[in-house]
Amino acid sequence: MQQLNLFQESAPVLPVTYYPDFLGIEQANSLYQHCLKLEWQQNQIRIAGKTMPVPRLECLYGDKGCDYLYSNSVFLKPICWTDTLSSLRDSITALTGYKFRIVIGNQYRTGQDSIGWHADTDSSMGLSPAIASLSLGGVRKFQIKPRNGKPTDFWLEHGSLLVMHPGCQSTHLHQVPKTNKVVSTRINLTFRPHTAKSR
């Protein structure tokens, strides 16, 4: 006799929590304006012996001494927290219970700006970091998948917060793929821990 498999179509359990309305529209709009004025940099990345521009703008704010190196080639030194960013950090800590010492900004100017499949495993964040990712502006597709599994799509809304829980970076990969659709500029802020000694 054929049996109905109740589990086949169920959504995968992911080590993330998505808060679509973390910020109200007014708050999200004014934060977006604040973030446009941050100190954005065009960094260069070295992949397979070639140096190329990172396909997005970046910035790093955080505690003194919390330097960040990724892909063994992009070195970011934190600028001191703005009041807006530190109060946002505190409200994310109040919601999630996770503590953060840096925030990396990504600015996706067009649909051609992107971030490929990766996990955030830089050792400066410690072994099992919780990462909280706030999205502003144009809505882009964010994909997450188990290291050998199928992706799940999230459409990260203006003012939304996606929390990647401890363990997520060891078991899953994520990306924001390029798109040929016309999309407005998107700003993403990823709040992260850091192991540097406090000074």
Ligand X SMILES: O=C(O)CCC(=O)C(=O)O
For residue 77, the Cα-to-chain-centroid distance in whole angstroms is 18
d(CA 97, CA 69): 26
How far is Cα 156 from Cα 16, in angstroms, rounded to an integer? 13
Separation between Cα atoms, residue 158 and residue 19, nearest integer Å: 11
Q: How far is the CB of 6 from ligand X (least distance, A)?
A: 33
Question: Choosing among ligand X, Fe ion, none, which partner's interface includes residue 142 (Cβ < 5 to 8 Å by kind)?
Answer: ligand X
Residue 186 C-beta: closest distance to ligand X, Å: 7
**Rg (alpha carbons) of the chain, rounded to whole number:** 17
> Which residue number, 158 or 197, has a Cβ lying nearer to ligand X?
158
Binding partner of residue 176 among Fe ion, ligand X, none, CB under 5 to 8 Å per kind?
Answer: ligand X
Locate 32 and state its tokens: 């977006």
Q: Which of 105, 95, 53 is nearest to 74 (CA)?
A: 53
Contact call for residues 30 and 23 (beta carbons, < 8 A):
no
Residue 50 CB, nearest distance to ligand X (Å)? 21
Q: Which residue is nearest to ligand X (CB)?
A: 188
Q: To which H or E segment does residue 90 belong?
A: helix 83-96
120 touching Fe ion, by CB under 5 A: yes
- Contact track, Fe ion, 74-113, x by CB under 5 A: ----------------------------------------
Nearest residue (CB) to ligand X, 139 versus 196: 139
Closest CA to 56 of 167, 196, 177: 177
Q: How far is the CB of 174 from ligand X (least distance, A)?
A: 6
Which tokens belong to 99? Answer: 């503590």
**Shortest Å distance, C-beta 197 to Fe ion:** 25
Enumerate binding residues for ligand X (CB under 6 A): 104, 106, 115, 120, 133, 142, 156, 174, 176, 188, 190
User: 38 or 188, CB closer to ligand X?
Assistant: 188
The residues binding Fe ion (CB under 5 A) are 120
